[in-house]
Amino acid sequence: MSVLVTGGTGYIGSHTCVDFIEKGKEVIILDNLSNSKEEVVGFIEQITGIRPKFYNIDLLDREGVKRVFDENDIDTVIHFAGLKAVGESVAKPIEYYHNNITGTLNLIFEMRDHDCFKLVFSSSATVYGKPETVPIKEDFPLSTTNPYGTTKLYIERILTDLCVADDRFSVVLLRYFNPIGAHDSALIGDNPNGIPNNLMPYVTRVAKGTLPHLNVFGNDYDTCDGTGVRDFIHVLDLAAGHYAALKALEKSGVSIYNLGTGNGYSVLQLIDAFERVNNIKIPYQITDRRPGDIAECYADASKAERELGWKAVHTLDEMCASAWKFESSIK
Ligand code: NAD
Ligand code: UFG
C-alpha cells in the first residue's frame, strides 16, 4: 500500500516525503508544480536513495486524479497541495477558493471511489483568527481574516461533515504554526518565487544580499520587545508530526492537532539568533504594522504529545543554521 502526497514537491511536502521514505513508506507524489520544481523529486532520491513516483497533475483535473488512484494501491493521503499566500488570496479569492476547495473535493471524491479513507490535511494556525489568549488550544474559537484562511476553515468543515456522513473515513487536521528551516543536506528547503512574504525566507535573502534590508512590521505590539511573537517550528519536526499522525488514522472520524513547539519567539529574537548562529548581520528597519497581523501566536502542543507521542525537538538555533545553509547553497 502506498501513501499519496499531494503537494509533495513543495516545502513541507518534500521534507515529509523524505521522512516517510526513510521510515519505510512507499510514497507517490502528485503536484502541478505551480509553486515547486520537478528537480525536488531528484533531491528526495539523492537524500533517501529512493525515487518516489511523481505525477505532474493538477488536483483540479479530476480525470488526472482518478488516474493516479487507478494506477496505484493508495490507502493514505497526506494533502499539502494548495495555494498559501495570504496577500494574494485577498486579491484573487475565487482562484484560492477554486484551487484549494475544488481541489480537495476532487481528491476526496476519488478517494471514496477507490476505497481510500485515510487523510491527513495541512491546516493552519490561521484558523484561530485573532486568539484572545495564548498558548492556543485546539478547542479555541475559529475565525479567519483572509480568503486563504477561510479555505482552510471550510476544508476543515467539509472533511468533518464527510466523517459524520461516512464512518469509513478517518481524517487528521494538522494546524501548523510557523515552519522554518531546511533539511541538513541543504538540497530541499523554502524557496518561494519572487519577494518572500514570510519572515525567514526574507531574512535569508537579506543575508545573501539579494534584498537590502528586512522590514520589521511594527514594534508597538504588547509583547516582550514590541515585535510580533510566533511559534517557529523546524520543518523536520513538522514532517515527523505527519508520520506520528498516522496513529490517529487508526480510528474513524476527525482528529485535530496543533503542530508547534509551544514556545514563542519575537521577530527581533529570531533576527538575533540568526545573526549569532550564522555570524551575519541582518540590517533591518522598523516599519508600520502589516494589516491583519496579530501580536502573539503560539501553540499549546500538548495534545499531540499526549495522543501521538510527538514533540518538536529542534531548537531555534538549528532552524536558523539550516535555513541559511539552504539559502546559501541555492545558485
Ligand atoms: P508550497 O507552496 O511549498 O507547497 C504546496 C505545493 O502544492 C506546491 O508544490 C504546489 O505546486 C502544489 N499545488 C498547489 N495547488 C495545486 C493543485 N491544484 N494541484 C496540485 N498541486 C498543487 O507550500 P508549503 O509551505 O509546503 O505548504 C504546504 C501546505 O501547508 C499548504 O496547504 C499550506 O497552506 C499549508 N501551511 C503552510 C504553512 C507555511 O507557513 N508554510 C503554514 C500553515 C499551513
Ligand atoms: N514579519 C516581518 N517582516 C517580514 C515578514 C514578516 O516583520 O518581512 C513579521 C510578521 O509581522 C509576523 C512575523 O514576522 O510578526 C511572522 O510573519 P510570517 O509572514 O512569517 O508568518 P505569519 O505568522 O504571518 O503567517 C504564517 C503563514 C500563514 C499561516 C501562519 C500560521 O504565512 O499562512 O503562519 O501560524 F497561517
For ligand 2, pick from 84, 177, 230, 271 the residue to mutate: most ligand atoms within 8 Å of CB.
230
CATH superfamily of 2-180+232-260: NAD(P)-binding Rossmann-like Domain (3.40.50.720)
Kindly list the domain boundaries of the chain, sorted by start residue: 2-180+232-260
Q: Is the Cβ–Cβ distance between 31 and 8 less than 8 Å? A: yes
How many helices (H) and strands (E) would you count in the chain?
Answer: 12, 14
Q: How far is the C-alpha of 186 from the C-alpha of 254, rounded, in Å? A: 35
With a 6 A CB cut-off, is 201 part of the ligand 1 pocket? Answer: no
Ligand 1 mutation target, pool 56, 80, 183, most atoms within 8 A of CB:
80
- Which residues are catalytically annotated? 148
Q: 201 exposed, middle or buried (CB, 10 Å; 0-12, 13-18, 19+)? A: buried
Q: How close is the Cα of 155 to the center of ligand 1, in Å?
A: 14
What is the pTM assigned to this prediction?
Answer: 0.98
Q: Does 112 contact ligand 2 (Cβ within 6 A)?
A: no
pLDDT, one tens digit per residue, over 242-294 is 999 999 999 999 999 999 999 999 999 999 999 999 999 999 999 999 999 99
List pLDDT tens digits, range 286-325: 999 999 999 999 999 999 999 999 999 999 999 999 999 9
Average pLDDT over residues 184-211: 96
Tell me: cis bond preceding 291? Omega within 30 of 0 counts: no
